[in-house]
Structure 1
Amino acid sequence: MKLSSRGRGCCVAGSRERGPPPRSPFVHQLRLSPLEKAKIAFMTLTLFPIRLFFAAFMMLLAWPFAFIASMGSDEQELEKPLSWWRKIVDILLKAIMRMMWLAGGFHWINVKGRRALPAEAAILTVAPHSSYFDAIPVTMTFASIVMKAESKDIPVWGTLIKYIRPVFVSRSDQDSRRKTVEEIKRRAQSDGKWPQVLYTTTV
């Protein structure tokens, strides 16, 4: 009996020495106080409509510039780099899109390090692709992105997408992957004539 009680005592002592179970980095429990819930409700009724209005206004303001710059461009023209006057439109659109994100609540975006030049890295990889917030670096850099061809048919947003000359991937084309790889190689070997290719991955 003594041995068994000691054994149980050792087991209990050992279990007491163990710390709390590790927290999972993939689980976040958000607990809001009544005051915080009241603030969210108040801001939803007052500030959110104003932010939404200005964000939508900035997107609509960017559409005419992208439409005019893309007007008269056929499919072959879309495969060529931007001309000098379209690069000026780039500056205007970047400023407008930055104001759109400002209205959306992204007051300041910290950039760590230095962005690699096209001569240093023709292809940029962004990971993991888990949300639509990838649009922030796209609109701030206007790099050519790899995306599905159906995206160019989205009203308003599709015009902005076509303006940045993305590499479209067609799901209905069996040779789409091969053509996409060839197009990325062609742009990467253009000696800086094309903007950098921004590729998002889930890995």
Structure 2
Amino acid sequence: MNNNHSVKTSGPNGAAKAKEDDVPDPFIYRLHTTRLDRLILVVMAFTLGPIKALLTVVFLALAWIPARLSVIGLPLQPDEPLSKWRVALKDVAVFLAICASHAGGLMVRKIKGRRARDDEATLLVLAPHASYLDPVVGLLCGLPGAVSVLDNAYIPGIGAIFRACQSIFLDRNDPQSRIKTADAIRRRAESKGAWPQVLIYPEGMIGNQTCILPFRLGAFQPGVPIQPVTVKYPNRLDVTTWLDSGPSLLAMISLWMCTPVTRMEVEFHPVYSPSDEEKTNPELFAQNVRSLMTQYLNIPTTELSYRDMSALVKRSKPKVGVVKLWKSILTKGYIEMPDKEHFS
């Protein structure tokens, strides 16, 4: 277990923070294609794309069965960990869900480092949160618990998988939900291995991989060792980013299905043990871990928040579905959302 105290013990974001004017906007989606790119997309749309989509749906449907059985008779957020027979069913669901991601063309090119044992770190924090494919990292970890928005629990098919991993659900419409979520994270962090590890997206929202958004404090309030996990999508065409201010989820998945191979790189970094000061100051703990992760990724931080993104969505009113996205790509060769006039 390593104490990573090469970062600052005071100050907002460490040396990795760039001047705000120089930081890319994390809520813009851009995709520029060449003629060859467009040809490949069209050919895939009429050949392998539908087959990939069908196989992905079939494997997800198969994964739903053991996932649903593993939580049958249980409330949305059980008070006790899953029993052994339920865990066995969950493991079957994990295998089938991984098959679904491979059927869609996702290739995990590199896995660096070692996932910490339960006794080394109960909490895993992942950044940047940039894609609808990020949950695959959880699958690679054997599907630990995760902190997720409540809406995900009710997604047909996939919702059962979120429940099977004993996720902690955050209801953004409940003013008390953040307090309840923080308490649930603390209980699991202090459970001494009774609960599975928890994978947390500390940004609490999705950006476009160009910078790291502000960290929320839930993962850092217990003051226990955490393991930073970083993920990259080193692909020439960005078909994995899904922003509230960009094309719809179905539109982005249609591009993914029509891309021959999508690459992902995951790295498990050394466990970060908080100092005495950080244990009593979650904000400092979060700032230092965030600074360390910017060094790992070599990208800046930004202070733009969920409120900024919500305001942008309200102004731009993005309504780009499958047909509109493909029309823009095939006729103009690119898509950029939101348009520049929506920025104030």
TM bracket (short chain): 0.7 to 0.9
Q: Taking structure 1 as the reference length, what is the TM-score of the superposition? A: 0.79
Structure 1 residue 46: Cα displacement? 0.2
Structure 1 residue 186: Cα displacement? 0.5
User: What are the within-5 Å matches in structure 2 for residues 89-104 of structure 1?
Assistant: 89-104=89-104
> What are structure 1's unaligned runs of at least 5 residues?
1-23
Deviates more, 1:172-181 or 1:40-49: 172-181
Q: Does residue 159 of structure 1 match 2:160?
A: yes
Q: 1:187 aligns to what?
A: 188
Aligned positions, number: 178
Q: 1:62 aligns to what?
A: 63
Q: Which one-letter code corresponds to 1:112 in the other structure? A: K
Per-residue CA deviation, residues 114-153 of structure 1 (Å, 9 max, x unaligned), is 0111111111111111221212112332111111223212
User: What are the within-5 Å matches in structure 2 for residues 34-73 of structure 1?
Assistant: 34-73=35-74
Q: 1:196 aligns to what?
A: 197
Q: Does the CA-based 8 Å contact 2:90-2:164 persist in structure 1?
A: no
Q: 1:18 aligns to what?
A: none
Q: Does the CA-based 8 Å contact 1:79-1:165 persist in structure 2?
A: no
Q: 1:12 aligns to what?
A: none
Q: Which one-letter code corresponds to 1:201 in the other structure? A: P
State the alpha-carbon separation in 2 of the partners of residues 74 and 40 from structure 1.
Answer: 43
SS in 2 for 1:150: helix
Q: Does the CA-based 8 Å contact 1:97-1:140 persist in structure 2?
A: no
User: What are the within-5 Å matches in structure 2 for residues 20-35 of structure 1?
Assistant: 30-32=32-34, 34-35=35-36
SS in 2 for 1:50: helix
SS in 1 for 2:111: coil
State percent identity of aligned pairs. Answer: 32
> What are structure 2's unaligned runs of at least 5 residues?
1-22, 204-212, 214-344
Structure 1 residue 35: Cα displacement? 4.3
Judging by fraction of residues, say which structure has more strand.
Answer: 2
Q: 2:111 aligns to what?
A: 111
Q: 2:122 aligns to what?
A: 122
Deviates more, 1:86-95 or 1:46-55: 86-95
State the alpha-carbon separation in 2 of the partners of residues 195 and 129 from structure 1.
Answer: 21
Structure 1 residue 102: Cα displacement? 0.8
Q: Does residue 83 of structure 1 match 2:72?
A: no
State the alpha-carbon separation in 1 of the partners of residues 173 and 41 from structure 2.
Answer: 44
SS in 2 for 1:107: strand
Greater relative contact order (Cα < 8 A, sep 6+): 2
Structure 1 residue 29: Cα displacement? 7.3
Structure 1 residue 171: Cα displacement? 2.3
State the alpha-carbon separation in 1 of the partners of residues 131 and 187 from structure 2.
Answer: 28
Deviates more, 1:133-142 or 1:114-123: 133-142
Structure 1 residue 75: Cα displacement? 5.2
State the alpha-carbon separation in 1 of the partners of residues 128 and 136 from structure 2.
Answer: 14
Q: Which one-letter code corresponds to 2:175 in the other structure? A: Q
The 1:117–1:48 alpha-carbon spacing in structure 2 relative to 1, beyond 3 Å, is same
SS in 2 for 1:81: coil
Q: Which one-letter code corresponds to 1:169 in the other structure? A: L
Structure 1 residue 45: Cα displacement? 0.7
SS in 2 for 1:120: coil
* Aligned alpha-carbon RMSD (Å): 2.3
Q: Does the CA-based 8 Å contact 1:148-1:171 persist in structure 2?
A: yes
Q: Which one-letter code corresponds to 2:45 in the other structure? A: T
